[in-house]
Chain A
Amino acid sequence: GESVGLHLPTLSVQEGDNSIINCAYSNSASDYFIWYKQESGKGPQFIIDIRSNMDKRQGQRVTVLLNKTVKHLSLQIAATQPGDSAVYFCAETVSGTYKYIFGTGTRLKVLA
């Protein structure tokens, strides 16, 4: 797949457990953050977003937490399923600039 040769941090979790993927962002001026999921052979797919005026946002089985003090973002996936296996990227941007800065990505492996 696209990630051959890349040495990504890997998180292995048992099916049914909760997963927490962390990301440190770089720009204190960033005010919009997105988590993307990338499966092999596909482009990044939007999962959930959060604006800087919030510290938590929930979706279906996913929760994003934002800590602006330490410039940290996390993605929590509840009851992880085999279909959740992918590379997860956080991305930050300053509203109006339309330029995303991506993190390096974390590979999530779901063990049966």
Chain B
Amino acid sequence: EAGVTQFPSHSVIEKGQTVTLRCDPISGHDNLYWYRRVMGKEIKFLLHFVKESKQDESGMPNNRFLAERTGGTYSTLKVQPAELEDSGVYFCASSHAGATEAFFGQGTRLTVV
């Protein structure tokens, strides 16, 4: 069974540009989560999808971040425009409906210069 996969693994962009991160969850997992770790801080929750619906987006830092999960399969996280403080590692995770254990992808390292 393939795990959670994220694309790209690394991205370096200039301040003000747009970046889109992609996450493919484990097949059949209804729950999909985005987390991020900015430098020097702990991993923090961004949002949670159940299928295509946003269940909890309380962790999204501001309106420069937009997450989508059209069709309830893969998800994208767009940052527009990117700022220096957005640099960090963005993790995606997924889990079965009703399951608490989440499986994480390898992360996307975003560097904004």
Contacts and interface: CB of A to CB of B under 8 A. Distances in A.
Contacts, number: 65
B95 A43 contact: no
B interface SS class: strand
B31 interface: yes
Contacts of A5: 39-40
A8 to B, nearest CB: 9
Interface in A43-59: 43-46, 49
B40 A43 contact: no
A97 B45 CA distance: 12
Interface stretch (A12-20, A63-71, A74-82, A102-110): A102-110
B95 A98 contact: yes
Contacts of B48: 98-99
Interface of A: 2, 5-7, 32, 34, 36, 41-46, 49, 89, 93, 95, 97-105
Interface of B: 4, 6, 31, 33, 35, 37, 39-45, 48, 55-56, 58-59, 89, 91, 93, 95, 100-107, 109
Given A41-B106, A99-B59, A105-B43, 11 more contacts: A2-B37, A5-B39, A43-B91, A43-B106, A46-B101, A49-B100, A93-B100, A95-B100, A98-B100, A102-B43, A104-B41
